[in-house]
C-alpha cells in the first residue's frame, strides 16, 4: 500500500512539535483491525497533546487523535468483517497508540465498536469522545437515582463539547437544566439546547460552609477545582455529581460532610477505560434515547484534514462552542 497522510506528534527534549507526514502501514502501532478513516474529531485532550500543553502522550512519535470512524479494510479477527462501518473512541488512541488523525488507523479488536443503527461515520464523530462521555455521565447519574422531575440538574463548562451535548441529552429526557458558563454571549445558544436557566460563573457565590443550601438534584461537572467543591456542598440528598474535567483545576478542597450527612455521590467518569459491554450500551443509547435533537447545531463545525493544526489553540482558549469534526477521507 502506498504512503498515506498522518498528523504525527514528536518530542525533542522538552519541545513538542506536530506535523503532517507520509507514513506506511508498518510504521503504525500494531493492531489486528485496519480502518480506513473517514472522520475524526477535536477534543480538549487532542489539543493538549498536539500543542504539548498537557502530558497526554506516553510515547513518541505518535499519531494524534483519540477518535476515529470509518470502514474496516483488513481484519485478523473473525468477529470484525472487512467492509464493516465502525468507530473507536478513547482506549488509548492518540495517547499510547497511533490515533485517528491519519488516513489509516490500526486498532485492537476489543476497541472497535460497530456503528449502531441510526448513526453514520459523520454523526458518530459529531459525538466522539465528548458525546460518549456526556452519555456515560448521564447513564451513571440515572443509575444513581437521577430522574426527570426530581429537581434541577446543573451542567458546568456548558458551552464545551461535553457540556453542550449533556444539556441537549438531558433536555430530551425531560430534565430541568441550569447551565453554568463564563461566556455572557452564550445565553441564546444554551437556551436553544434546552437549558432552563443560565448561571454566569463570575456571579456564583460559592460560600464557605461545609454544607450550603441545596440547589440541585445532580450535576455534570467539566470544571473541577473550586466549582466541583461548591457542587459537593450544594447538591441535595443522595444526589450524584459526574466528575469529568478539570479545566478549573485538579485540586478538590472540600470536607466529608456532603458525603456522610447528605449521602452525596461523586461519580468519576473515565471514558477511555470503559468496559466493552458498557461501551456498547452507551453507544446504543446515543443512537436512541440519548441522541440529542440539536446534534448538528452542537457539531456545526466540520474542518478539512489540512485545517487541523489551526484549531488546537482555539479549543484550549475556549474560543469555540460545541464540537469540531475533522473530515479525513
- Asked whether the bond before 5 is cis by omega within 30 degrees of 0, the reply is no
Which of the pair, 320 or 32, is modelled with greater confidence? 32
DSSP bridge partners of 267 = 242
Of the CA atoms within 13 Å of residue 297, those in its CB half-sphere come to 16
Residue 135: which pLDDT band, with cuts at 50, 70 and 90? very high
Lowest mean pLDDT among 176-180, 243-247, 287-291: 243-247
Place of cell 485545517: 307
The answer to whether 169 and 148 have CB atoms below 8 angstroms apart is no
How far lies 301's CA from each of 6, 32, 159, 160, in Å?
Answer: 21, 32, 14, 13
Domains of the chain: 4-115+299-327 (3.90.180.10), 129-268 (3.40.50.720)
- Spatial distance between the Cα atoms of 48 and 102, rounded to a whole number of angstroms: 18
Identify the three-state secondary structure at position 183: coil
State residue 41's pLDDT score: 98
pLDDT at 141 over 80: yes
Which tens digits make up the pLDDT trace of 185-221? 999 999 999 999 999 999 999 999 999 999 999 999 9
Residue 36 CA to residue 53 CA, distance in Å, equals 29
How would residue 2 be classed by pLDDT, with cut points 50, 70 and 90?
A: confident
CA dihedral of residues 324, 320, 272, 129 (deg, nearest 10): -40
C-alpha–C-alpha distance, residues 195 and 164, integer Å:
10
Do residues 161 and 193 lie in contact, with contact meaning Cβ atoms separated by under 8 Å? no
For the chain, give the mean pLDDT: 96
Query: Which pLDDT score, from 0 to 100, does residue 1 have?
Result: 64
Cβ atoms within 10 Å of 1's Cβ, excluding its own:
10
pLDDT at 63: 98
- Do 158 and 184 touch, CB atoms closer than 8 A? no
Q: Identify the burial level of 57 via C-beta atoms within 10 angstroms of its C-beta, where 0-12 means exposed, 13-18 middle and 19 or more buried.
A: buried
Rounded to whole angstroms, the Cα distance separating 146 from 177 reads: 12
Q: Could you give the CA distance from residue 76 to residue 272 in angstroms, rounded to a whole number?
A: 24
CB 169 within 8 A of CB 134: yes
Asked if 239 and 264 touch (Cβ cutoff 8 Å), the reply is yes
Q: Phi-psi region for residue 278, left (φ > 0), alpha (ψ -120 to 50) or beta?
A: alpha
Q: H helices within the chain, ranges in order?
A: 44-51, 121-143, 161-172, 187-193, 225-234, 257-261, 276-286, 295-298, 312-316
Amino acid at each position: 500500500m502506498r504512503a498515506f497522510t498522518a498528523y504525527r506528534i514528536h518530542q525533542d527534549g522538552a519541545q513538542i512539535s506536530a506535523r503532517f507526514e507520509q507514513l506506511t502501514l508498518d510504521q503504525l502501532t500494531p493492531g489486528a483491525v485496519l480502518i480506513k478513516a473517514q472522520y475524526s474529531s477535536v477534543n480538549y485532550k487532542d489539543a493538549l497533546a498536539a500543542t504539548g500543553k498537557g502530558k497526554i502522550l506516553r510515547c513518541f512519535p505518535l499519531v494524534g487523535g483519540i477518535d476515529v470512524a470509518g470502514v474496516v479494510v483488513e481484519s485478523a479477527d473473525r468477529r470484525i468483517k472487512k467492509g464493516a462501518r465502525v468507530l473507536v473512541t478513547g482506549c488509548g488512541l492518540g495517547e499510547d497508540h497511533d490515533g485517528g488523525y491519519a488516513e489509516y488507523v490500526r486498532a485492537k479488536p476489543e476497541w472497535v465498536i460497530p456503528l449502531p443503527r441510526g448513526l453514520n461515520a459523520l454523526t458518530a464523530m459529531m459525538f466522539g469522545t465528548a458525546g460518549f462521555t456526556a452519555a456515560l455521565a448521564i447513564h451513571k447519574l440515572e443509575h444513581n437515582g437521577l430522574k426527570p422531575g426530581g429537581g434541577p440538574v446543573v451542567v458546568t463548562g456548558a458551552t464545551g463539547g461535553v457540556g453542550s451535548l449533556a444539556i441537549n441529552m438531558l433536555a430530551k429526557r425531560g430534565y430541568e437544566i441550569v447551565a453554568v458558563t463564563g461566556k455572557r454571549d452564550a445565553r441564546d445558544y444554551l437556551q436553544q439546547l434546552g437549558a432552563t436557566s443560565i448561571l454566569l460563573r463570575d456571579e456564583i457565590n460559592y460560600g464557605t460552609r461545609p454544607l450550603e443550601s441545596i440547589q440541585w438534584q445532580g450535576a455534570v461537572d467539566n470544571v473541577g477545582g473550586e466549582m466541583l467543591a461548591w457542587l459537593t456542598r450544594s447538591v441535595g440528598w443522595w444526589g450524584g455529581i459526574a466528575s469529568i474535567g478539570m479545566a478549573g483545576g485538579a485540586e478538590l478542597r472540600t470536607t466529608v460532610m456532603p458525603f456522610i450527612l447528605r449521602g452525596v455521590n461523586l461519580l468519576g467518569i473515565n471514558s477511555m477505560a470503559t468496559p466493552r459491554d458498557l461501551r456498547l450500551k452507551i453507544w446504543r443509547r446515543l443512537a436512541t434515547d440519548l441522541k440529542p435533537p440539536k446534534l448538528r447545531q452542537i457539531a456545526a463545525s466540520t474542518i478539512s484534514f489540512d485545517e487541523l493544526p489551526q484549531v488546537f489553540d482555539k479549543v484550549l482558549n475556549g474560543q469555540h462552542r460545541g464540537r469540531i469534526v475533522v473530515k479525513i477521507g
